[in-house]
Amino acid sequence: MPVKREDPRIIPPADLYWDDLSLDDRVVSPGRTIGEADILAFAGLSGDYNQLHMDAEYAASETGFTRRVAHGLLGLSVASGLFTRTWLGTGIQRHMIAMLEIQWKFVAPLFAGETVRLEAEITNLRATSNRERGIAILDRRLVDGSAKVLQHGTTTMLIRRRVDGATATQDGSALLAPSRLGRATRDRRTAAGGQVQ
């Protein structure tokens, strides 16, 4: 049976450059339960004390929700943190240069007591004019315990490229040597009993 990279039995590489990424890379984070303390702490951090988030009676009687709603931006922040708990998020940490753009939609309310996970996949990889950098675009979805999408969007990240062993081409750009890390990843997958896809 083929084993994909999101399979937890696969030991992922811990040091990923842009060149090591693939369009089929997909991750699912561990769960995180949103607590009342998270909502209060985020209100204090952001200064957003809107009644929708802070007043249970108002939220139940005036908004159509049965209870207080967590801040939408709290959900986005949790989604960002959950990404860092995946093999892909930890793998690119040393080589991530910048978050260039976030496009995000708030689809359903997030309540205290809900457990959420992040699902993410790389949907676009492109080189830049600087041979030391590449761009990765990820689709991300914050989902509840029943896999209902609460929030979703895309993030665009600038990531360092692997340039060791590169040789210059006629136009002055770099022709990168084959990724040693990529081969090690394939070897680990095969050792885990799976086929490389």
Structural domain for 81, as ranges: 18-33+72-180
Predicted pLDDT at 13: 59
At 7, the pLDDT band (50, 70, 90 cuts) reads low
Q: Is residue 166 part of a domain?
A: yes
From CA 184, how far away is CA 16, in angstroms rounded? 12
Predicted pLDDT at 12: 60
Q: Is residue 161 part of a domain?
A: yes
Q: Is residue 4 part of a domain?
A: no
At 6, the pLDDT band (50, 70, 90 cuts) reads low
Mean pLDDT of 56-67: 89
Q: Is residue 126 part of a domain?
A: yes
Split into its structural domains, the chain has a count of 1
Predicted pLDDT at 15: 87
At 98-113, the pLDDT tens digits run 999 999 999 999 999 9
Model pTM score: 0.77
Q: Is residue 67 part of a domain?
A: no
Mean pLDDT of 5-12: 56
What would the two tokens of residue 180 be?
């040693």
Both ends of the chain: CA-CA distance in Å?
Answer: 11
Q: Is residue 42 part of a domain?
A: no
- CB proximity list for 86: less than 8 A, separation 6 or greater: 27, 28, 29, 118, 120
